[in-house]
Amino acid sequence: MTESITVTLPAEIKEEVENVSRDEGITPDELIGRAVAEHLFTRRFRSLRGRMVREAESRGISTDQDVFDRVS
């Protein structure tokens, strides 16, 4: 289900959104939706990576060689 939200943008960003959406053949809504989804994915990825790095370091794994040694 699609929901609605209002976003206020500076004029120069609004203009760029309109230009890019026109160039890519999509609506501004779709462009902004994709940008938000990408941002949220990246945020989740960084959070997961941070937890995994801490876990690896707690097990003495801190370099690519450490990983290679464990899986070889």
Question: Is 32 inside any structural domain?
Answer: yes
Total domains, the chain: 1
Does residue 11 belong to any structural domain of this protein?
Answer: no
pLDDT at 29 over 90: yes
Q: What is the pLDDT of residue 28?
A: 96
Domain-embedded: residue 3: no
pTM: 0.77
The reply to whether 54 falls in a domain is: yes
In a domain, 67, yes or no: yes
Burial degree of 57 (CB within 10 A; 0-12, 13-18, 19+)? exposed
Please report whether residue 49 resides in a domain.
Answer: yes
Residue 59 belongs to some domain of the structure: yes
Domain extent for 58: 21-71
pLDDT at 1 over 90: no
Q: Which two tokens stand for residue 52?
A: 């995994």
Do 71 and 65 contact (CB within 8 A), yes or no?
A: no
pLDDT digits 0-9 by tens, 30-59: 999 999 999 999 999 999 999 999 999 999
